Amino acid sequence: MDFSIMDYLGFSNSVFVADIDNTLPLVKRHYVRQAKELLFGIDKIHFLGEHPTVYFKSVPNFETIVLRELTKVHKSIWNQGKAPFLFVESPTEIRVYNGFEKPIYPKDTQQQLESLELFKAEKTDAKALTELKRIFGAVSIETGDFWAKKEHADKIKFKTRVEQALIDNLKETRRKLIATDLHIEIIHDILLRSLFLLYLEDRKATDSAFY
């Protein structure tokens, strides 16, 4: 069906990822470059200010092999910790995923990915599309009206964001190191150095061969 959900929802001014536009502000170019290099085929980004708020991806269908790829896309978005929404569009359907929900490692991909869905609609379902636009359209998101719609906004929780997961993991690692009778200052030094090394790896400044 020749029908663009992005245009229908008011996101026609979103930024294409395929070619990095050098006229974009530096921060936006950084996020476009990340999407191009790390996010497994994101097509467009909608920015709120200088930060991404919606990622868009087109798929041929929602069969199992595609859903497996979507778990990788979602994990990358969650790890980045910036955009709360991933909109995935097929020729017949649109699905909205929660970018702040913890990623999944599914055996049953279909069932597990459904737990990340905020909304889905067939393109032939006029009622569902109207509801989609009311809740997830550009006007709703940009004005902040979305966050007043509790039935959907309450599903996007801070406690499942990547920052909180990192804090939880650091607390658990600290607890285990304390149990080895290491001095607390040494433990904190280990944790800080580990974070710094991960930062260097993420920036491609070093890799495992360096060590």
Residues 17 and 74 in one domain: yes
Residues 85 and 27 in one domain: yes
Looking at residue 154, what is its pLDDT?
A: 80
Residues 152 and 170 in one domain: no
Residues 132 and 69 in one domain: yes
Residues 119 and 81 in one domain: yes
* Domain hosting residue 169, numbered range: 162-210
Domain count for the chain, please give it: 2
> For every residue of the chain, which 3-state class applies, written as one string?
CCCCHHHHCCCCCCEECCCCCCCCCHHHHHHHHHHHHHCCCCCEEEEECCEEEEEEEECCCCCHHHHHHHHHHHHHHHHHCCCCEEEEECCCEEEEEECCCCCCCCCCHHHHHHCCEEEEEECCCHHHHHHHHHHHCHHHHHHCHHHHCHHHHCCCCHHHCHHHHHHHHHHHHHHHHHCCCCCHHHHHHHHHHHHHHHHHHHCCCCCHHHC
**pTM of the full structure:** 0.77
Mean of pLDDT values over 21-26: 84
Residues 123 and 168 in one domain: no
pLDDT in tens, 143-199: 989 888 777 788 876 666 666 667 667 777 888 888 888 888 888 888 888 878 877
Residues 175 and 104 in one domain: no
Looking at residue 163, what is its pLDDT?
A: 62
Last residue of a domain, one of 156, 181, 200: 156
Residues 145 and 171 in one domain: no
Residues 181 and 152 in one domain: no
Residues 80 and 176 in one domain: no
pLDDT in tens, 70-116: 988 998 888 888 889 999 999 999 999 999 888 887 565 565 788 88
Last residue of a domain, one of 156, 186, 202: 156
Residues 113 and 144 in one domain: yes
Whether 53 has a pLDDT exceeding 70, the answer reads yes
